[in-house]
Structure 1
Amino acid sequence: MLARFKYQLELFWLSLSFFSRIPVPRSTPYSEERMNQSSRYFSAVGLCIGVLCLIVFRLMNAVVPADIAVFCMMCFSLMLTGAFHEDGLADMADGIGGGMTVEKRLTIMKDSRIGTYGTVSLVMILLGKYLLLTHLAVSSLFVPVLLLGHSLSRALAGSVIFDTPYVTDLDHSKSKPLASKQAVKELIILSVIGLIPVIFLPFGLCLILIMLCLGIRSLFRRWLICRLGGFTGDTLGGLQQCFELFIYLFFLACIQLGLLVYGG
């Protein structure tokens, strides 16, 4: 029992080290098989990042207005993750927006330089999150919505590995360990952890949100297969950013419509 717990903890450390700058024990064993299995904890990493961001927001909001606290929280989040997902979004936008063939798109996505499509995407995603979070910050549901945005978006992005082919040069890809398909067990754990914050939100609205997210995921998956032939690590980062923004937008719209109340 203890050995199983230790193994799962080591998988979590691997996932945490891959998707954030948070220090993990140096003794953590690494292998491609373990790294692939660690995909089950992508959403758990999101929860950890969400909790740390929330702490920063609370501390800053004690001395500065909510909008400034949101700005500080976003800066902290970018430093905490090394802008990992934002970089993926920019690369995806440049590649798919600027390439006319699959080969050209993949080549552009590997380029470390950023182009117009990537720049515009970054500006809009960061501006969008700032505006949405600033409005959500005055809501009593800010905490569960923020946590859900971090956890569910990573669960949805990570789930693409399960049923979508991987494309790019495996020998030169930072996502090589994640290229093989997930087992059903990994997908279930990923999804359950990603949905934990739902217990603090109205069930009916969360059910609608999940259905919408699954529909968008299906469309996004088809789009990736059409444009690239499958997914890359960059597209997972781009998908995570888009879903995080969508989750915030959904709940803010519910608040504006008067639909989001406890027990409603």
Structure 2
Amino acid sequence: MKDAAFGALLALQFLTRLPVPLACPWTPATRRWAARAYPLVGLLLGALVAALGTALEGVLPTPLLALLLLSAWVALTGGLHLDGLMDLADALGSNAPLERRWAIMKDAQVGSFAVLALVFHLAWKGALLWALLAAGASPWWLVPVAALGRFGAVGLLVVVPAARAEGLAHAWQQSLTRGDLALAAVVPLALAAWTPGGLWPLLGLVAFITFYGLAARRAFGGINGDIVGAAIEGGELWLLLIAWSWWSFAMA
């Protein structure tokens, strides 16, 4: 149980900017429990943003509420996954050979493709939040979106090999098995059963991660931390689109 508690705190420390005033041990056991807790951390993030939305729904105009929720979402994660998205955009946008793409991804400088990716990604995310709220959807739809997005990251870590024997993604993979992926799936499956139409986001996530994993292997030979982080952002955007589509058409 001690490893499980440390693992949950490690996941919270790694995926959010919520204060964790404790040094968590970095061991194979805690890494495994941390990966299993990824969707649980997503559930917490989604619940915090949804609670804010519920408190202010009807108080703020819908566009401002959507912008506030997006701002809170980014603040809680510290933009960690957005950084991965930007690095990936610069690398892919370069159209350079593989080794050069890796060098660009590791470069701390931000290029034009990173800026474009960030602007359009946040614009689409904000617009979909606005559209969901305008369609009458509850802010609590963000709970399965955030949880499933982080479950997708666990799926990538378990199924798609690291491109290089270095970095956090590779270190994490050394401790993970498909059994850990199955345990991480408990929260997403429970949310799918609880959320109206929840099966569609789950199936949509599987399709997204399958395609994304294949694309990562083709473009880079595998994954790294930036690619996993970008998958969380891309997965959330895709899930918001699915949620809006379902709510707008199935509930109409």
Equivalent of 2:67 in 60, 71, 84:
71
> Aligned residue for 2:40?
44
Q: CA offsets, 1:179-233, max 9 Å, x none?
A: 426212210122221333223333xx43344333322322211111111000011
Describe the shift of the 1:200–1:67 C-alpha distance in structure 2 as closer, same or farther (beyond 3 A). farther
Describe the shift of the 1:83–1:149 C-alpha distance in structure 2 as closer, same or farther (beyond 3 A). same
Give me the whole-angstrom Cα distance separating, in 2, the residues matched to 1:53 and 1:95: 31
Equivalent of 1:95 in 91, 94, 98:
91
Identity %: 24
Gap regions ≥5 residues in structure 1: none
Partner SS state of residue 195, structure 1: helix
Equivalent of 1:166 in 141, 162, 167:
162
> Aligned residue for 2:109?
113
Q: Does 1:193 align with 2:187?
A: yes
Kindly provide the amino acid, as one letter, of the partner of residue 16 in structure 2: S
Gap regions ≥5 residues in structure 2: none
Equivalent of 2:53 in 47, 52, 57:
57
> Aligned residue for 1:216?
208
Q: Report how far residue 62 of structure 1 moved.
A: 5.3
Scaled by the length of structure 1, the TM-score of the pair is 0.86
Give me the whole-angstrom Cα distance separating, in 2, the residues matched to 1:32 and 1:167: 20
Describe the shift of the 1:196–1:28 C-alpha distance in structure 2 as closer, same or farther (beyond 3 A). same
Kindly provide the amino acid, as one letter, of the partner of residue 235 in structure 1: I
Equivalent of 1:86 in 82, 88, 104:
82
Give me the whole-angstrom Cα distance separating, in 2, the residues matched to 1:231 and 1:123: 24
Q: Report how far residue 128 of structure 1 moved.
A: 0.7
Give me the whole-angstrom Cα distance separating, in 1, the residues matched to 2:169 and 2:61: 39
Give me the whole-angstrom Cα distance separating, in 2, the residues matched to 1:196 and 1:144: 15
Scaled by the length of structure 2, the TM-score of the pair is 0.90
Answer yes or no: is the 8 Å Cα contact 2:57–2:65 preserved in 1.
Answer: yes
> Aligned residue for 1:260?
251
Counterparts of residues 125-136 of structure 1 (less than 5 Å): 125-136=121-132
Answer yes or no: is the 8 Å Cα contact 1:155–1:194 preserved in 2.
Answer: yes
Answer yes or no: is the 8 Å Cα contact 2:158–2:181 preserved in 1.
Answer: yes
Q: CA RMSD in A?
A: 2.1
Give me the whole-angstrom Cα distance separating, in 2, the residues matched to 1:113 and 1:183: 35
Q: CA offsets, 1:119-175, max 9 Å, x none?
A: 1111111111111111212455423421111011111122111111112462xx354
Equivalent of 2:230 in 228, 238, 250:
238
Which shifted more, 193-202 or 41-50?
193-202
Equivalent of 1:207 in 199, 202, 206:
199
Q: CA offsets, 1:34-71, max 9 Å, x none?
A: 23441111111111111111122233435322221221
Give me the whole-angstrom Cα distance separating, in 2, the residues matched to 1:100 and 1:227: 11
Kindly provide the amino acid, as one letter, of the partner of residue 78 in structure 1: V
Which shifted more, 184-193 or 46-55?
184-193
Give me the whole-angstrom Cα distance separating, in 2, the residues matched to 1:101 and 1:71: 38
Equivalent of 2:172 in 155, 174, 178:
178
Answer yes or no: is the 8 Å Cα contact 2:193–2:199 preserved in 1.
Answer: no
Answer yes or no: is the 8 Å Cα contact 1:166–1:180 preserved in 2.
Answer: no
Kindly provide the amino acid, as one letter, of the partner of residue 222 in structure 2: G
Describe the shift of the 1:61–1:143 C-alpha distance in structure 2 as closer, same or farther (beyond 3 A). closer
